[in-house]
Structure 1
Amino acid sequence: MLATEVYLVRHGETMFNQLNKVQGWCDSPLTVKGIDDLKRTANALAQVHFDNMYSSDLKRAIDTVHLMKDANIVSEIGKIKKLPEFREVFFGSFEGDDIDQTWDKIAQAAGIGHETNVQKIINQIGIEEFREATKKADPRHLAENKEELDERMIRAIRNLHELTKNEKRVLVVSHGDFIKTLAIKYWNNSDGHHDIQFPNNGSVTRGILHDDGRFEIVDYNKDAEDL
């Protein structure tokens, strides 16, 4: 067994990103801008050798991983394995809703009144309470709270560890809020509670999956020009 370097790539901009809609497990196609941004990332990684590439099972991530695969000139990647555990955070009944109206409902559920700026909400109540308030505000209470999301992240890393035991470097396409939450948990620049910058579309976050299953993030939210 050996340590595995993991390149976590956020999918490109989608139609729902552009339309300011909540997008977790629901899906929408990549935009022209999203594809153009991804091509820059793909070109920056074109000569990085990967033993394998993986993807969340949502279409925007699958489309993204194929752009990475097609541009890479030094790797021989077979069929892409889809990993449902690396899906975006689930927002329950809010999926597809207007994002500002959703944040306002979450802010009210958290007891801080009207607020549509998600960063201000999280700064006030913290990321953990934000997850709880999201579940509380969801009329069907389906949205993932901190405990559910944390269990899924641990499962995602455990499964990836099993899959990559004989792989030195892999690429995994995932999603903004999921990658950010991984970084809050596994990046030593984060104290595990306070918020960090949301990763850009097409950005790369790099982690090390140690042979004993420990995971640590060593680089966060790097754009194509920084790679």
Structure 2
Amino acid sequence: MRHGETLFNRLGKVQGWCDTPLTSQGISDLKKTAEALADVHFDNMYSSDLKRAIDTVHLIKDGNRVSQIGKIKKFPEFREVFYGSFEGSEIDHIWKATSRTAGIRETSDVTEIINTIGIYKFREVVKKADPRHLAENTEELNLRMARAIDRLKAATQREKRVLLVSHGDFIKTLGIKYWEQSDGLHDIPFPTNGSVTRGVLTDSGKFEIVDYNCPPEEFEA
């Protein structure tokens, strides 16, 4: 599940590993999400280690009527994508800088950029466009996603259904790689705040996303 709306979401600023609080609108929306999931049983709940995700998972936990959830475990591996020195910048700025670095028409439309140069080159170009070259590239992000899935598998050996709160671009990147409807090359819709993406993780460690960016009311107990 993606966290609720934050201050930087509202202001249109880049928010990767930097963190801003949930807005009043974000909290209000999450209370509706919590009510939609109130009668869905979860064996456990997890989140990334960023506060916006932690606050979100606690709102969902507090609203659930049928699950017995103890202390929330935080996984740094499920943090948002890291944007390096672009953190806190205007979102339009990072994508215009990326398109210029890629040598294509300057645009703030990230879908156009990805579909023009491909998702793998896109991550490399973002890192190159970052003045300090700290932003995560494809290899770094793929390795972190693999670690995240391995960490989740180890933690959920005895669990059947869990909820994990993560972040928009991280969930989207998982979707590009693991969603059955993605070709693995082009862009897919960005998850909305509070949306649910359902994945299946087998005992052998195979991971597949079967439902992507869905409103929580679509999920039944």
TM-score of the alignment, normalized to the shorter chain, above 0.5: yes
Aligned to 1:31: 23
- Give CA deviations for 1:161-193 in whole Å, capped at 9, x if unaligned: 000000011000000000011111111111111
Residue 116 of structure 1 pairs with residue 108 of structure 2 = yes
Runs of 5+ unmatched residues, structure 1: 1-8
Of residues 54, 77, 87, the one that matches 1:85 is 77
**Are the counterparts in 2 of residues 205 and 220 from structure 1 also a CA contact under 8 Å?**
yes
Aligned to 1:133: 125
**Are the counterparts in 2 of residues 40 and 224 from structure 1 also a CA contact under 8 Å?**
no
Of residues 35, 44, 48, the one that matches 1:52 is 44
Aligned to 1:103: 95
Aligned-pair CA distance for 1:147 = 0.6
Aligned-pair CA distance for 1:155 = 0.3
Aligned-pair CA distance for 1:123 = 2.0
If asked which structure has higher relative contact order (CA below 8 Å, sep 6+), I would say 1
Aligned-pair CA distance for 1:143 = 0.2
**Which secondary structure state, in structure 1, belongs to the residue aligned with residue 142 of structure 2?**
helix
Percent identity of paired positions between Structure 1 and Structure 2: 70
| Divergent runs of 4+, >2 A | 224-227
Aligned to 1:3: none
Runs of 5+ unmatched residues, structure 2: none
Question: Whole-Å Cα distance in 2 between the matches of residues 193 and 57 of structure 1?
Answer: 29
**Which secondary structure state, in structure 2, belongs to the residue aligned with residue 141 of structure 1?**
coil
- Give CA deviations for 1:107-127 in whole Å, capped at 9, x if unaligned: 111111421121221121122
CA RMSD between the two structures: 0.9
**Are the counterparts in 2 of residues 92 and 142 from structure 1 also a CA contact under 8 Å?**
yes
Which segment drifts farther, 101-110 or 147-156? 101-110
Aligned to 1:183: 175
Aligned to 1:61: 53
- Give CA deviations for 1:48-107 in whole Å, capped at 9, x if unaligned: 111110000000000000001000010010000000000000000000011111111111
Aligned-pair CA distance for 1:33 = 1.3
Aligned to 1:224: 216
